[in-house]
Amino acid sequence: MIKLKLNYFIFSGLFALPFFMMAQEKDSIVSTKKEKLNVEEMVSDTIALQAEEVIALSTVDSLPDNDFVLIKSPLTKKYNLKDNEVAAKYDSLWMKELIANAPLFDEIYEEVTTLDPDSTYVYDLDTDTLKLRLEKLNQKTPFNIAYNPSLENVIKSFLTRKRGLMQRMLTASQFYFPLFEQQMDNYNIPLEMKYLSIIESALNPKARSRVGATGLWQFMYSTGKMYNLDVTSYVDERSDPIKSTEAACKYLSKLYDIFNDWDLALAAYNSGPGNVNKAIRRSGGYKNYWNIRRNLPRETAGYVPAFLATMYIFEYAEEHGLKGKKVERPYFETDTVHVKSLITFDQISELVGIDKEELKLLNPSYKLNAIPYIEGKNYALRLPVDVMGKFVANEEAIYAHVEKELKSKESPLPQLVKQAQENRIRYKVRSGDYLGKIAERYGVRVSQIKNWNGLRGNNLRIGQRLTIYPRRNATASVQPKNTPSKTTVTSNTKVHEVRSGDSLWTISRKYPGISIENLREWNGISGNNLKPGTKLKLCDCSS
């Protein structure tokens, strides 16, 4: 078994550039004599699944005295931690691209679960040419790739109905595929298996299906626990790219050991080995996927064709005019550090000057936007290398600052857990309700409500009960001083002018209560591409 430390070493070694820290400028912190601090343990109950687990949240054994001071600039009102300039600023395209891709999970999930391989689609692709290409793929992979009309239908469907999604996956895949390939090579798994993550999650580590499967590889809670993926109130390691990928490799290896066939291993990954065995029995003992497909659950019947179609499209993207955005670096230039104290994303963002949304993107396994410190466990913080330089160069001062804040008020982590449990509500749909309206009322996203309740579409029925974890009270919303209410902005603003870098998702985030579906419906948009300068209506209005 590969240990966690080795995983992070490999991951960092693949994508991080070496850097050398210069001497820190004298005015960044004021240092005094170090003394050991004895910090009382802070104990909190986890959710029901871990109710018996007592978590000791304690700080690093030896911290500098709290006389370490981090000073805000009187002009900018921001902390100005110093570090040498060791690398070019990371390309912000990646963050925009991946954030914009988050809603694609719903689209790919709907496609795969309802896919009908027997439906035909019109696309200019000669059958003989397709047969030749599939044969070439078959020669270089251990999957059984043979032409059949069902596979041709799925390929043509993806090249027409899901063309935009596939093109965006060509770009987003550069973010994760190097990691997947490294782990699959470690476990002697076909590297083409990386395409499975596209049809499982659309490369969204926070993806959650209507039945609760979570992460890039869509692990259910019980299967995740089998492969040591920790799920608590604070952390969901099914969303950790490194740990979940290793778990997926172990699970796929086990399934291959059972069936000795990668196609059947794929089918079992989706529906479970029991359903595959039943299909084999019902087919009269056949062991070829295409011979047992009609005996598999409907969702699995389209699962392997969707995987093979995705593989084909990636391998022959250029021939079909598909081209992802190419960048020089396939991943953020990032590095990791094990935290030595409980620290929140708000604190990290404020101290080292990184956007909170980027923190969430790089650290998707932390459920409450905070990294706990637990005796016997190693929780890592991932940052771009230039920001990591600031963090490491000022580490002692940062932990002293965090400790001072934690002493001044009750630990935020147990409060967040308690609040999430207490605020869970069951909402009864009333006449005139729609998802955007309910989401705005409780300060959550439409996609969250859909995930919590297993909703595939946007239709609601009167009397329907919805589970909601509100971020704010339904009756009041506390706004920062001198900051206009976002709700007020929404009601008074009827048009949004598209700027460079905008996407339907980022625009919907700016206006609470407005979903991607609303923007498409009100503006007659069918795809995801937006042209800078376009004016989008923000209401169902004529203006």
pLDDT tens, position by position, 140-199: 999 999 999 989 999 999 999 889 899 889 988 888 898 899 999 999 999 999 999 999
> Nearest-CA neighbor of 57 among 340, 423, 314, 421?
340
Task: Looking at mean pLDDT, say which of 315-319, 409-413, 521-525 comes out highest.
Answer: 315-319
Share of residues in the chain with pLDDT > 90 (%): 29
- The count of residues in the chain is 543
Does residue 394 have a pLDDT over 80? yes
Q: Tokens 């041709």 belong to which residue?
A: 152
Angstrom distance (rounded) from CA 130 to CA 312:
10
- The pLDDT of residue 96 is above 90: no
Q: Which residue has the higher pLDDT, 424 or 118?
A: 118
Model confidence at 45: pLDDT above 50:
no
Q: What is the pLDDT of residue 19?
A: 34
Q: Which residues of 210-243 are buried (b: 16+ CB within 10 A; e: fewer)?
A: eeebbbbbbbeeebbeebebbbbbbbbbbbbbbb
For residue range 73-90, list pLDDT tens digits in order: 555 555 555 443 333 333
| pLDDT score at 16 | 39
Taking CA atoms, 331 is separated from 90, 201, 263, in Å, by: 9, 19, 30
Tokens of 29: 């912190």
User: Is it the case that residue 234 has pLDDT exceeding 90?
Assistant: no
Q: In sequence order, which residues have a C-beta less than 8 Å from that of residue 522 and are 6 or more positions away?
A: 536, 537, 538, 539, 540, 541
pLDDT of 266 strictly over 60: yes
pLDDT band at 295 (very low <50, low <70, confident <90, very high): very high
Which neighbouring-strand residues pair with 428? 465
Query: Tokens 């430390």 — which residue?
Result: 5
Quick count: other Cβ atoms within 10 Å of Cβ 1? 7
CA 536, CA 543: separation in Å to the nearest integer? 10
Confidence of residue 38 (pLDDT cuts 50, 70, 90): very low
Token pair for 20? 């050398």
Query: Three-class SS of residue 125?
Result: coil
Give pLDDT, residue 46: 34
344 bridge partner residues: 370
Q: Is 354 helix (H, G, I), strand (E, B) or coil?
A: coil
Residue 223 has pLDDT above 80, yes or no: yes
Output Rg (C-alpha) for the chain, integer angstroms: 25
**Where are the strands (E) in 408-541, listed by range?**
425-428, 465-468, 495-497, 535-537
pLDDT tens digits for range 420-463: 555 567 788 888 888 888 888 887 888 778 877 777 778 888 88
Give the chain's mean pLDDT.
Answer: 75
Closest C-alpha among 264, 245, 236, 267 to residue 367 = 236
User: Which three-class secondary structure state does DSSP give residue 134?
Assistant: helix
pLDDT category, 496, cuts 50, 70, 90? confident
pLDDT band for position 514 (cuts 50, 70, 90): confident
C-alpha neighbours within 13 Å on the C-beta side of residue 120 = 5
- What are the angstrom distances between the C-alpha of 62 and each of 6, 10, 35? 25, 29, 8
C-alpha 403/C-alpha 302 separation (Å) is 53
What DSSP character marks residue 293? G
Between 4-18, 202-216, 259-273, the lowest mean confidence (pLDDT) is in: 4-18
For the chain, give the longest Cα–Cα distance.
79
